[in-house]
Amino acid sequence: MPENARLSGSIDQIDLEFVEREATPRFLMKLSIQLHLAGLSLSNTVSILEVFGVQRARSTVHNWVHKADLQPETGRSPDQIAVDETVIRLDDERYWLYAAVDPETNELPHTKLDPTTNSVIAHAFFHELREKHDVDDAVFLIDGSHSLKDACNRHGLDFRYERRGNRNSVERVFREVKRRTSSFSNCFSHAAAETADDWLRSFAFAWNQLI
């Protein structure tokens, strides 16, 4: 599919029901949200708006992204799911990002951000994933994480250990997430964990549209 068709389709799915009074044309609001999630910093996104004669603060675009409340599409039925956990930083604090990736499409069906990692949190992640997607018959690809293994066992899910192969997809996604969260300091500097969790779900929505 041509990239411009993907971008257009993604823009069409952005709901601006939260807007009450906003002088910015809705198409430019949607374009700003999509461009930021697709890779532009808030500063560069604001510069694009200025090309159209619209001046807005970075915080305004930031608020549009979060108020749009974008979520990855639910109801997927993948044959395999690669799951992993990795550390990202919000200022000087460490948080654990749990993510599920469909290795066939590289899509992100679900993400979850938590301040720590343990079996209880891994169990909650799998519970949310099963609520949103039909994954009970999928094979879960995990590394040596004891918490992920324990969660699979508790949920009665089929899993196998895999460090390479189809698990490479989740590593590619994590590299991109880390690039975004480390380079866009104006997005994650002083960000609350809840705000970052919302942003990561919005990122997953855009990632799934554009890959």
CATH of residue 135's domain is: 3.30.420.10
Q: Are residues 102 and 51 in the same domain?
A: no
| Residues 6+ away with beta carbon under 8 Å from 58 | 42, 43, 45, 46, 186
In terms of residue numbers, what domain contains 94?
Answer: 80-191
Q: Are residues 107 and 139 in the same domain?
A: yes
Beta-strand ranges (E) seen in the chain are: 80-90, 93-102, 107-114, 139-142, 158-161
Residue 122: φ, ψ to 5°: -60, -40
Residue 182 is predicted with a pLDDT of 66
Q: Are residues 185 and 86 in the same domain?
A: yes
Task: With cut-offs at 50, 70 and 90, classify the pLDDT of residue 75.
Answer: very high
Q: Are residues 178 and 95 in the same domain?
A: yes
**169 has a pLDDT exceeding 90:** no
Domain count for the chain: 2
Amino acid at 77: S
Task: Say if 38 falls within a structural domain.
Answer: yes
Task: Say if 199 falls within a structural domain.
Answer: no
Higher-scoring residue by pLDDT: 124, 188: 124
| Angle, helix 168-183 to helix 193-210, in steps of 10 degrees | 130
pTM of the predicted structure, to 2 decimals: 0.80
Task: Say if 115 falls within a structural domain.
Answer: yes
**165 has a pLDDT exceeding 90:** no
Task: Say if 210 falls within a structural domain.
Answer: no
Q: Are residues 103 and 128 in the same domain?
A: yes
CA distance 29 to 22: 9
Residue 99 token pair: 């993510």
Q: Are residues 91 and 119 in the same domain?
A: yes
Higher-scoring residue by pLDDT: 41, 180: 41
Q: Are residues 22 and 84 in the same domain?
A: no
**Measured between alpha carbons, how far is residue 39 from residues 16, 81, 157, 177 in Å?**
21, 25, 35, 10
Task: With cut-offs at 50, 70 and 90, classify the pLDDT of residue 2.
Answer: very low
